[in-house]
A and B are shown apart, each in its own frame.
Chain A
C-alpha cells in the first residue's frame, strides 16, 4: 500500500494546505503580515487593514471593559451597518410612488424569499435609537465629554439627531395609515415654526407690502413635504432623504466621530486628558 502513503504525502494535511496557501502570491498580495500571534504581526494586522485601522494598535485595558463602555457605540455602529445592508436589499423591491409603495410592501412580505429583511430593518432601527440613547447615557455618566472630548460629544449629538431623522423619514415609506399619520402629526409641528411656518408666531411680520410671504404654500412645512399635506411629493422627498441624503451626512459625521475618538486619546480614562481628581 505504499502508493497510498505516497498519495498522502503528496496531498498533505489541511494545515499544510493552509501554510502552502499563505505562501502563494495571491495571499501575499492581500495580507501583508504573518499570522497575528506575536507583537509585530498583531500591530501589522491592524495597521495594514483599512477596516481594523479604525482602531489603535494597542489600548488601555480599561477601554476594553464592557462594563465601562457597555459596547453601546460599537453596537450602534453595527446596527447601522446591518441597516445599510437590509436597506439596500429592500430598495430592490420598493418604488417610492403612491401607486406602488404599499403594494410593493405587500409583495415583499408575501413573496420575497428570505422574508425577514423588512423585520430586520424595522426592529434594527428601533433598537439603534435605544442603543444610541444608552451610548449617550454612558458617555455622560463616565464624564467622557469633558476635555479633550467636548467636540466629539457635539458630533455625537448630531449623530443622534440624524439617527432620529433616519427613522422618521423611513417611517413614511410603507405608505400605510400608521406611516402617513405619524408623519402628518410630526410634520404639523413645522407649521408653527416662528417666522417660517404658516401658523407660527411672527408670520405676520413676513410680508412684502400686502403680500404675505409665509403661507401654507410656502412655509417650511411645504418645503419638507413638497405639498400642503403628506402626499406623493413627500413620499419621494422622504425616500431620497432616507436612502441618500441622511446617510451621506451620517457617514461623514461617523468618520469624524471615530477619528476623534482616537485623536482625543482613545476611550476615556482617569489617567488621560482629565486630571485625576483625588
Chain B
C-alpha cells in the first residue's frame, strides 16, 4: 500500500506533471482565494502542506538521504516560507478587497494607521526583537547542524551530479531545455532587466501601498508565475528531484547512477524535412533552418503585433508603443520557457533553430 502510494507520488513529481500541478495550484490559490483565506481548515492545510510533505517524506529513506544534506535544509524552509507568505499576503489582500468593495478604505488607510508614532521606542523596539529572534534562530541552527565539508577540491574527479549553488538550480534546470547561451546568459540577464523594468512597465496606479489582489490581478499573477513556478519550483526540482546525470528521480526513488533515460531529442528541422516532407536535411544552414527561423520571427515579431490588437490590447493602449514592445518581449521570453519544456516532454523537441555552425541554438 505504502509502496503504491510512493510510486504514485514519484509519478506525480515527474517534471511535466509537477510543473502543471504547480501552475494549477497557484491559479487555484488565487481563484479560490476566499475559501483559501477564510475557511480555517483549508487555510491550515495550505499553509501546512509543505511542512506536511517534508515531515511525512522524511520517513522514506531515499528522501531522507537528500533531505538531510545540511545545505538542503534552508530550501525546505524556503518552501514553507514562500507558501506561508504568499498565503498571508493573499489573506490581507482579500480583506482589503472586501473593504474596498464595501466602499471603505483598505485597512492600511484607516485613520489610526495614519497616526504618527515615535520611532523611538516603537520601531527600535520591534527591530531589536526581530534581531534577537533571528540571532537565536541562527545560533541554534548553527549549533545543531554543522556546515558540510566534502573531500578536498580535485579537478580530476567530477562528482555526479555536479550541481550549481542551490539558488541557481532553476537556471541549471532551464539548461536542459535551452542552450547555455540562453539558459546561462540571456535568460538571467532578461530576468534582471525584467525585474528592474517592473516599475516602469506597470502603469496601473492602483494598489500602491496596500495589499490587494482584485485591483492588480494580472500583475500579481504574472509575478507569482515567475517567482513561484519558474523560480522557486525549479529550485525545488533541481535540488530534490535531479540526481546523477541530471536525470529525474522521484522524491522516494533511490538515486541510482546507472538509471538509463533514452535520449531521443529531435530538432525542428529534422521533424519538418525528414519526417514530414520525407526528403533529407538540406546541407545549407539557412535552408535547413528556414522553418525554425520563420517560426521564431513569427513568435517574437508577428505575435506581439497580433496580441496588441487582441489579448493585450488593454496593455498596449495603457502602455504606449515603446513600453509595450519591451513588455511583450519580456513576457514572450518568460512564456517560452514553459512552452519549450512542454514541447520537450511531449514531442522530444530539442531546438527550434539549431545552427551549430555558429553555436546558435534556440
Contacts and interface: CB of A to CB of B under 8 A. Distances in A.
Given A157-B195, A269-B113, A142 B210 contact: yes
- Interface of A, secondary structure class, is helix
A230 interface: yes
A168 B172 CA distance: 14
Contact of B114 (A46, A60, A66): A60
A60 B150 CA distance: 50
Interface in A17-74: 36, 39, 42-43, 45-46, 52, 55-62, 64-68, 70-71, 74
Contacts of A62: 108, 113-114
A71 B123 CA distance: 11
Given A45-B120, A52-B120, A75-B134, A120 B139 contact: yes
Interface residues of B, number: 95
A39 B118 contact: yes
Contacts of A154: 196, 199
B117 A64 contact: yes
Nearest to B119: A55
Contact of B119 (A58, A193, A272): A58
Contacts of A140: 198, 220, 223
Interface string B78-110: 100110011011001100000010010110110
Nearest to B208: A274
A188 B149 contact: no
Given A64-B123, A105-B149, A270-B108, A277 B206 contact: yes
A181 B179 CA distance: 20
Contacts of A229: 155
B227 A137 contact: yes
A274 B130 CA distance: 29
B180 interface: yes
Contacts of A250: none
B224 to A, nearest CB: 9
B278 interface: no
B208 A270 contact: yes
B138 to A, nearest CB: 6
A106 B159 CA distance: 21
Interface in B100-146: 100, 103, 105-106, 108-109, 112-124, 126-127, 130-131, 134-135, 138-139, 141-143, 145-146
B192 interface: yes
A245 interface: no
The 9 A-B residue pairs with the shortest CB-CB distance in the complex, in nearest-first order: A274-B208, A189-B184, A119-B142, A150-B199, A192-B180, A180-B153, A62-B113, A277-B206, A192-B181
